[in-house]
Amino acid sequence: MKYRALFISDIHIGTRRSQVDKANDFIRDKEFDYIYLVGDIIDGIALERKEFWNDKANDFLQEILRKAKDGTKIIYITGNHDKFLEGFWGNDLGGIKVIEEDFHTTKDDKTYVVIHGHQFHTKFLHLILLLKNWVRDKAKQLTKFRTGIENGAICYAAGKGVDGIICGHTHEAKIRKENNITYINTGDWVSSLTCVIENEDGKLELIGLNNK
């Protein structure tokens, strides 16, 4: 199956909860002109703890490198868990461009800024998320956390003068339109198993393992 672009984030390779094998199964038999790895693909925090790594992680990375060799443009946008790659911004690693953010123009001439999304949360909201087990109404607080990030992302996109923004980070797959800005979140490959694809006609849509 052929798509124009894939946006996928938050695989958290290096953690035991990562479902990198399913992500690999999802992309293996598909063709893309562009693949955007939208942050937290490799979990550097987990790697520092020597938490977990196996052949499934290697298989995914090898598949990405194979697609790069075959001509797919691969853009790796760093997140808060793969900050160790920030030193490689602007470099090409085996056909993978490492960068902080990028712009993608769809076939139907819509432009989106692509960025991980951790840049849009406050330290206070992040602390609430980290301490959510001690917060009485944690579901409400988590909703506030995510909404704050969404609003920040939408404002950022408006300031860039683009049509929308594509993020990860919150692990909540979502498409929301606000003030003529389209906010798109790719979800994750820890629980939701979702990503965003651009069809050949330029349409962006959320797609998951269960509706591939």
For the residues of 107-151, what is the DSSP string, one character each?
TTS-EEEEE-SGGGS-HHHHHHHHTGGG-TTHHHHHHHHHHHHHH
The mean-pLDDT minimum among 21-30, 74-83, 142-151, 181-190 falls in 142-151
Q: Which helix (H) or strand (E) holds 168?
A: none
Tens of pLDDT, residue by residue over 159-181, are 999 999 999 999 999 999 998 99
Confidence of residue 48 (pLDDT cuts 50, 70, 90): confident
- Whole-number Å distance between alpha carbons of 183 and 142: 18
123, amino acid identity: K
pLDDT, average across residues 29-55: 92
* Residue 129, pLDDT above cutoff 60: no
pLDDT in the model for residue 168? 96
pLDDT in the model for residue 125? 60
- Whole-number Å distance between alpha carbons of 6 and 212: 13
pLDDT in the model for residue 62? 97
Question: HSE of 99 in the Cβ direction (CA atoms, 13 Å)?
Answer: 15
* Residue 56, pLDDT above cutoff 60: yes
Residue 77 CA from chain centroid, whole number: 8
More confident residue, 85 or 146: 85
- Whole-number Å distance between alpha carbons of 204 and 139: 29
* Residue 146, pLDDT above cutoff 60: yes
Question: HSE of 90 in the Cβ direction (CA atoms, 13 Å)?
Answer: 1
Q: Which residues, 6+ apart, have CB-to-CB distance to 120 below 8 Å?
A: 148, 149, 150, 151, 152, 153, 156, 167
Instruction: Classify residue 95 as left (phi > 0), alpha (psi -120 to 50) or beta.
Output: left
pLDDT in the model for residue 145? 73
pLDDT in the model for residue 52? 81
| pTM exceeds 0.85 | yes
Q: What is the dihedral of CA 31, 114, 52, 130, to 10 degrees?
A: -150
* Residue 141, pLDDT above cutoff 70: no
